[in-house]
Amino acid sequence: MSTSWPLWEVFVRGKRGLNHVHVGSLHAPDAEMAVRNARDVYTRRNEGVSIWVVPAEAITASSPDEKDPFFEPSGDKVYRHPTFYAIPEDVPHL
């Protein structure tokens, strides 16, 4: 009885200059309908200027159990963050 349409993950660009951000998911028979439905469900109040829909099954995610080792490479590279560098306070615009 429940002929289930595939699941799509929806990403919306809030305004020009911003990344697309995941806002939720929905079911639709195809990509075109998924975009239309995403517009009606997730952008009724100008929440976005651009929508991506991605078949949920096409997404590969890191698993939470691997979390620590997986994200470790960034953990020990503190020099990637601007606050790693001590700059005298009287140097402007830096």
Partner 1 sequence: MVDDLAARFEHTVASEARIEPRDWMPDGYRRTLIRQIAQHAHSEIIGMQPEGNWISRAPSLRRKAILLAKVQDEAGHGLYLYAATETLGADRGELTEKLIDGKQKYSSIFNYPTLTFADMGVIGWLVDGAAICNQVPLCRTSYGPYARAMIRICKEESFHQRQGYELLMTMMRGTQAQRDMVQDAVDRWWWPSLMMFGPPDEESSNTEQSMAWRIKRNTNDELRQKYVDMSMPQAAKLGVTFPDPELKWNPERGHHDFGQPDWEEFWQVVGGHGPCNSQRVAHRRKAHEDGAWVREAAAAHAAKARRSQEGVA
Chain positions contacting partner 1, by CB under 8 A: 1-5, 7, 24-27, 29-30, 33, 40-41, 44-45, 61, 63-64
Shorter beta-carbon distance to partner 1: residue 4 or 83: 4
Q: Shortest gap between Cβ of 40 and partner 1 (angstroms)?
A: 8
Contact, 51 vs 57, CB < 8 A? no
Contact, 6 vs 27, CB < 8 A? yes
Shorter beta-carbon distance to partner 1: residue 32 or 77: 32
Q: Shortest gap between Cβ of 50 and partner 1 (angstroms)?
A: 18
Q: What is the DSSP letter of 75?
A: H
Q: Shortest gap between Cβ of 91 and partner 1 (angstroms)?
A: 37
Where on the phi/psi map is residue 17: left (φ > 0), alpha (ψ -120 to 50), or beta?
Answer: left
The whole-angstrom separation of Cα 53 and Cα 35 is 6
